Chains A and B, each alone.
Chain A
């Protein structure tokens, strides 16, 4: 079994799905399940595209895919979420089968590749699929804004990669990292690092490069909302984490600027969520704050807790966007006052939504609590007291707006909302809530992995 199958199978299925449109949802399901099972049998290490037998030299010639524990976790999460979202929207958005297959191929490639130009190619493939997914919102000006920002971000990323290639003579992340470590002058790499960071920042939703997010997610549905806020957010955070951990080493004034931007992202995201009166905007601004927090942890080298935060965030946001977007579709508005009493007749869904929200807030008994406690402890041990205080303050604001949202959704308003969630939706909500509860109470598996799950740096050290 070859790692490349994780990309090739969905890509092939995407082309077949264009011809056999009725079979597209089944192809998607098949490709997704194949990838999830295949991951159990794949060995970690390098795969060289094209089978170039002299590739494993010190220069790592050719395009290399790299599978380690970090990539495996990311791939499992992304492929599972795509399959779940596809199953839940089987009827409503079945014409998007080939688009989802394309996004699966692009995101898998993005998480696997070790070649920076190849990274750009997969970034663009995944982005093209994302643009098409947002077309389902029927808000074309917002989609256009997303396209423009995405192309600008991709171009800046490529600009940075080109400069790095001119400096080091390689596109391989490991070769570049070791080359910069031995021969590089830090001042020379500041410009490409900034370009790459901005380029990825657009997709990861970091302030101030995320102007597209509000338009796209504030008009999302049960398909586009979870895909962009959960799957893409997780995949892009994993991809950015890989680069931040191994390549983009920020030092001195640049580190100060990046940390300031990320802290502003956390605080501004939570403050904007606090000040809005629309449910979807609360979720999207919360996503922006979480994305900045994850990037901040990667910059500080707290890899494992950033990874867990990505997973918990993706699962929680999946539930929250599904619940809210389905309700918005039925009610015709996402104003909180129009959604008052949503859970009065949907107690089970309300309970699951509450559990997901409490986990994001970081309350005890939930996975979010363990993660928050550990990354705050790590920040304290790194001497980042100010950052810690600011994050605690932002968490307080986050708790206030989420509790306010929960109270409004649980207590009845003037009208009684009578809408139903189908059983597949309820099953997914229950499964996610169960995972969050189990990981919050039985924490041993969380401590089995450490910051070394990303093994690229090991490869750099051992040549």
Chain B
């Protein structure tokens, strides 16, 4: 039974269509990446999943049932626009948000303390929120969305603005939660994170689904036509006819091969040519990165100007 299912969901704001017949499904125990350029309808889709806004048409199914508000206590949500009560003390704030998600004050307090320790911000507990750094506030809000042990965790850009140490801490926490069988959905435009973390992805642009499926499926539909090469010497081999496109970053080149029936043969030819004029320390034939797929698919779609009124992502 999928945890979330959107079926042909459509949402329009005044003049702009934010989401265009979007369908997707998230199974328990998966890490789901919702990708898309700015203003593509990510936040609008997420808002409809949790009933902040109601779709104009189409259906939203949560936990196998048509959308019902009472099920929202089983969802943890970290919005893209972070917000906490500035003047409120951290613990009070966490307890309040926990209570809104149906916990009693006692449990909310106990879990807050445990989570603060896990997130390494115990020293922030007695402070007022406005005294904390932005990263710390983000961690507090991260905790607030998890206190009630939700089965579905939705995070809009969870890692933006965090330093690498904290970003990793959050990543690891999400991975742990997935292992516990929770469904995690996060939106981002950091492709490296998606590639590392996600089991499933969906790519949307202009409110339409461009691509979806498991990471392996998505990647396997793309041919292994990329070469990464590290070399010393002349870069003349980059003009080889089998190469469609090449970028040379002083001794490190990224090559895209022209479409051909025998890509492996073409790669070998490029290597042979390179060996005649340069010393090669690394040569690797790879499938395109998610980032490349992303850029290719998004630019292939009509690059209509996107003006977000209500949609932030």
Tell me, yes or no, whether A binds B.
no
